[in-house]
Amino acid sequence: MSDAVVTAVSVGERKVARRTVVSAPAVLIFDLVADPRRHPELDGSGTVRDSRVTGPDRLSEGARFSVGMRQFGFPYRITSTVTEFGEGRVIEWRHPLGHRWRWELEEVGAGATRVTETFDYTRARGARALEVFGYPARNGDGISATLSALAKRFSPA
């Protein structure tokens, strides 16, 4: 199969979103995203490094989970809180600095799901600093890599 087509999606100011279609039912993709221990498998940015996750086996609204990260050579841990959870279709969590990561899933045919991942920093403390240090573009690239790998993971042989 050729590389997945990942497109930029306009979802508002201070939001970076990418979208692709994955050859899998939404339930399979959602199960992967809703299990914080599997987030290192999803991450295309190379920052989620630690499979030692604390928190529930499956996320739900209000759940908190921590994961080990590494950026610019420095390891650290982040504890996020799930702010929205709609079984099989949406999951969003908030970083301690206020930005959010959102996954939206929409079945678009037999065994195919449109997947949109969004980095939303509209409510982030230090949103301007995120821009100055290039996080919107960097996170956009990471989202593209994540969605490409996700599509490849479920692509027909």
As assigned by CATH, the class of the 7-153 domain is: alpha beta
Question: Which residue is it, tokens 């301690």?
Answer: 96
Query: What does the pLDDT look like over 106-126, one tens digit per residue?
Result: 999 889 999 999 999 999 999
**What is the pLDDT at residue 31?**
96
Q: Which DSSP symbol is given to 44?
A: S
Q: Evaluate whether 134 touches 116 at the Cβ level (below 8 Å).
A: no
Q: Evaluate whether 12 touches 119 at the Cβ level (below 8 Å).
A: no
Choose among 6, 52, 42, 38: nearest CA to 148.
6
Query: What does the pLDDT look like over 142-155, one tens digit per residue?
Result: 999 999 999 999 98
Lowest average pLDDT, out of 49-53, 57-61, 129-133, goes to 49-53
What percentage of the chain exceeds 70 in pLDDT?
Answer: 96
**What is the pLDDT at residue 42?**
87
